[in-house]
Amino acid sequence: MPHIIKSKIRTIPHWPKQGIMFRDITTLLKDREGFNRMIDLFVERYKNSKITSVVGIESRGFIAGSALAHRLGIGFIPIRKPKKLPAETISEEYELEYGKDRIEIHKDAISKGDDVLLVDDLIATGGTALAACSLIKKLGGNVAECCFIVDLPDLGGKKKLENAGYKVFNLVEFEGN
Span between the terminal Cα atoms of the chain, in Å: 24
CATH, range 48-173: 3.40.50.2020
Residue 60 appears among annotated catalytic residues: yes
Q: CA-CA distance, 141 to 110, in Å (whole number)?
A: 6
Q: CA-CA distance, 21 to 116, in Å (whole number)?
A: 31
Q: CA-CA distance, 8 to 58, in Å (whole number)?
A: 21
Among candidate residues 23, 60, 80, 104, the one labeled active-site is 60
Q: Is the pLDDT of residue 177 over 60?
A: no
Q: CA-CA distance, 31 to 24, in Å (whole number)?
A: 13
* Domain boundary assignment for the chain: 48-173
Residue 97 appears among annotated catalytic residues: yes
Nearest to 75 by CA among 119, 36, 45: 119
Among candidate residues 32, 44, 88, 97, the one labeled active-site is 97
- For residue 20, what pLDDT is reported? 86
In this predicted model, what pLDDT tens digit does every residue of 11-49 receive, in sequence order? 999 988 888 899 999 999 999 999 999 999 999 999 999
Q: CA-CA distance, 138 to 119, in Å (whole number)?
A: 18
Q: Is the pLDDT of residue 84 over 90?
A: yes
